[in-house]
Structure 1
Amino acid sequence: MTSLLTNISAMTALTTLKGINSQLDATSNRVSTGQRVSAAADNAAYWSIATTVRTDNASLSAVKDSLGLGSSAVDTAYNGLNSVLSDLQNLRAKLQTALQPGIDRAKVQVEIKAIQDKMRSTADSSISSGQNWLSVDSSPSNGIYRATQSVIAGFSRTAAGTVNFSMIGVDVNAIKLYDVNASSITTAATSAKIFGATSLTGTTAFAGGTANFNGTNEVAFSLTLGDGSTGTIRLNRTALASAAADLTKVTTQEFLDAINNQIAADTDATPLAGKVTAGLDSSGRLTFDTVATGATAQVTIQNVAASGGNALVDVGFGTGTAATDARTGRGSAAGTTAGKGILDTADGGTGVSVATIDISTLSGTAGDTTLRAIITQVEQVIAKVTDAGTKLGANKTQIDGQKTFVDTLMKANDRTIGILVDADIEEESTKLKALQTQQQLAVQALSIANSGGQNILSLFRS
């Protein structure tokens, strides 16, 4: 039935056309933006995740910039130290020359003064982003000085949304060459500590990463502290039976736990419990560290004879049991140290610093003795500057490694965002072409449906 009031065919064609136009709009948007999720309405969950990851990448980008600035500052300080190290080696050569008979030390001093001035100039000009880590002013009145300069190395977000930043610390106090501050710095008392000769996994017992205590292998030693506390630690098949999951593959952690358990359970007349702990240092060496600090803090390790026909194995302290094989670590008392830098700190023996060495008036046997002491002082300073360069090198390696990690993480985040929101352009372009064709057909269908009423009118014409 055909109706003049209701054109069912036109309504159907119009609905179809609207649906096609809606799909066409969505597909056109995906093709133009390159994203299948460009707004929360497209997919709320994916949009939320992608937005969070984009925010993380923005933070990581800032971290990467910070690492770049930190790397530049470390490079500047390292290059300055390297230059000063060469100058110190030259200075040592000049001092050795001055030991020769007949040398005019006043003329040699002119050359030494030039080297001293060059080292000072190098340190003063080692500036990066307004920071100088070689020539500083650690005076309390200098509010901008930081004994440890921190470089932002990364960030993390907790489940509660709290953002935490990790830092790489550069110990400026350990590398500074000159310091305006002439006051002394209070140093805290230290504990007593002894170290194994090599990493635990580098010893015979743990050569494969784990140790076999299922046979006759045994570790046995006594620990004696400065207050007279003493105890014997014995680790063998019997002792480790309850501490290790597999006696043929005892891990370093199981081994450490067993030592600390025996220390905690020590029942000797003067027990060790609560006074010393075993651990591994950054090099993986077995260490024993006292809880007590100060000049009286002391810990001595001495291997003792194995029990029941077992054989002693080395865990970094050898297998000898003679008194001469004992090793002792001592703590230090709280005190003060000069707040000056490596080059302007006066030596206790010579009374002068490298920055103020003057050999022009040294003469005779006494002068030769003083000059030899100065040469020894310069040798020690060279070692300190070398150590400072090593510390900066380690910081540089850490910063460069973190930069690589952050860059890799940002790329991984980009891939995550792409998986969630990027459109498949090949698929969308094909769909776009099909929808355009469907749109044309729908328009024609609507046009045909609308012309149906005109056909009815022709029946009423005479």
Structure 2
Amino acid sequence: MTSLLTNTSAMTALQTLQTTNKNLATTQNRIATGERVSSASDNAAYWSISTGMKAQNSALSAVKDSLGFGAAVVDTAYTGLEEAIKLTEQIFAKWVAYEQGGVDTDALDAEITQLTEQVEAIATAADFEGQNLLVTGGDLTVVSGYTKGTGTTTLDVTAFDLATSVGGITDAATAETALDDMRSAAAELGASKARIDSSLAFTSKLMDAIDRGVGALVDADMNAESARLSALQTQQQLGIQALSIANQNSQSVLSLFR
């Protein structure tokens, strides 16, 4: 039966076309964003997980920056302390020579003074953006990690007062004590540097793993979406033609009354 009031064929063709247009819009959005889950309406569970993981990666990025800064500060101090140890070894040798009879003590005093001032200058110069681990009060706290639900973990690096240490040298014995203290401080800085480097490497790998995890949840398969886009565009064209044909059916009824 043909009806002028109800065009069943046109209604069916229209519904099919609307579905095709909706699927086409979804596919185009995935191609444009590169994501198959770009909002909560796409997949609430995956969207929630990916949002939380992205927030965690943002926190880890801040941790990575802190570790990078800490590594630079510790490396600066360690480099300065290494040079200071070499100079203090010379001071130690001068004091040993000082005890030898017949030496020019005035010349030795001048050399010791110059070497001491060099070490003190190193203590002042071993500064990285206002942070100096070779002066009093220069202790450093580095954010070394972040765990969701637990918070941050930190690494404390204790400063070593280099100027006071070298300034307390008055003979060979105190020079040897100062050297021992410097070597101990250098060993602690070396251990801190190794720990910071390890934490930095782990944080970088963890961020990469999270990125891969987020990608597995929300990234679109561009090959599949490209193929789907071509298919849907073809379906859209056919749907428009089908709707046009269905709409023409009612026009054919007019020919019966001519």
Q: Please state how far the C-alpha of 1:81 moved relative to its aligned partner.
A: 0.6
Please list the CA deviations of residues 191-246 of structure 1 after superposition, one character each: whole Å capped at 9, or x if unmatched: xxxxxxxxxxxxxxxxxxxxxxxxxxxxxxxxxxxxxxxxxxxxxxxxxxxxxxxx
Equivalent residue, structure 2, for 1:45: 45
Equivalent residue, structure 2, for 1:153: 144
Identical pairs, percent: 44
- Normalized per residue, which structure has more helix? 2
1:2-401 to structure 2, matched below 5 A, reads 2-136=2-136, 145=137, 148-158=139-149, 163-172=150-159, 175-178=160-163, 341-344=164-167, 353-354=168-169, 357=170, 374-401=171-198
Equivalent residue, structure 2, for 1:411: 208
Distance 1:164 1:40 in 2: 26
TM-score w.r.t. structure 2 length? 0.96
Q: Please state how far the C-alpha of 1:80 moved relative to its aligned partner.
A: 1.1
Larger RCO: 1 or 2 (CA < 8 Å, sep 6+) = 2
1:426 to 223, 243, 250: 223
Question: What is the letter of the counterpart of residue 102 of structure 1?
Answer: G
Distance 1:7 1:410 in 2: 58
Q: Please state how far the C-alpha of 1:414 moved relative to its aligned partner.
A: 0.4
Distance 2:9 2:151 in 1: 64
Distance 1:153 1:11 in 2: 63
Q: What secondary structure is seen at the aligned counterpart in 2 of 1:24?
A: helix
TM-score w.r.t. structure 1 length? 0.54
Distance 2:213 2:73 in 1: 33
Q: What secondary structure is seen at the aligned counterpart in 2 of 1:343?
A: helix
Q: Please state how far the C-alpha of 1:97 moved relative to its aligned partner.
A: 2.9
Q: Please state how far the C-alpha of 1:98 moved relative to its aligned partner.
A: 2.8
Please list the CA deviations of residues 36-55 of structure 1 after superposition, one character each: whole Å capped at 9, or x if unmatched: 10000000010000000000
Distance 1:410 1:135 in 2: 35
How many residues are aligned here?
258
Q: Please state how far the C-alpha of 1:342 moved relative to its aligned partner.
A: 2.4
Distance 2:98 2:191 in 1: 37
Q: Please state how far the C-alpha of 1:127 moved relative to its aligned partner.
A: 0.7
Distance 1:101 1:70 in 2: 49
Distance 1:437 1:92 in 2: 88
Question: What is the letter of the counterpart of residue 151 of structure 2?
Answer: N
Distance 2:38 2:5 in 1: 43
Please list the CA deviations of residues 300-329 of structure 1 after superposition, one character each: whole Å capped at 9, or x if unmatched: xxxxxxxxxxxxxxxxxxxxxxxxxxxxxx
Instruction: Give the ranges of 4+ consecutive aligned residues of structure 1 lying more than 4 Å apart after TM superposition.
Output: none
Q: What secondary structure is seen at the aligned counterpart in 2 of 1:3?
A: coil
Q: What secondary structure is seen at the aligned counterpart in 1 of 2:156?
A: strand
Structure 2 residues without counterparts, runs of 5 or longer: none
Distance 1:133 1:343 in 2: 15
Q: What secondary structure is seen at the aligned counterpart in 1 of 2:166?
A: coil
Q: Please state how far the C-alpha of 1:443 moved relative to its aligned partner.
A: 0.4
Equivalent residue, structure 2, for 1:203: none
Distance 2:55 2:254 in 1: 65
Q: What secondary structure is seen at the aligned counterpart in 1 of 2:3?
A: coil
Q: What secondary structure is seen at the aligned counterpart in 2 of 1:41?
A: coil
Q: What secondary structure is seen at the aligned counterpart in 2 of 1:166?
A: strand
Distance 1:114 1:135 in 2: 20
Counterpart contact for 2:37–2:218, Cα < 8 Å: yes
Question: What is the letter of the counterpart of residue 166 of structure 1?
Answer: T
Question: What is the letter of the counterpart of residue 34 of structure 2?
Answer: G
Q: Please state how far the C-alpha of 1:100 moved relative to its aligned partner.
A: 3.3
Q: Please state how far the C-alpha of 1:111 moved relative to its aligned partner.
A: 1.1
- Normalized per residue, which structure has more strand? 1
Q: What secondary structure is seen at the aligned counterpart in 1 of 2:36?
A: coil
Distance 2:55 2:148 in 1: 11
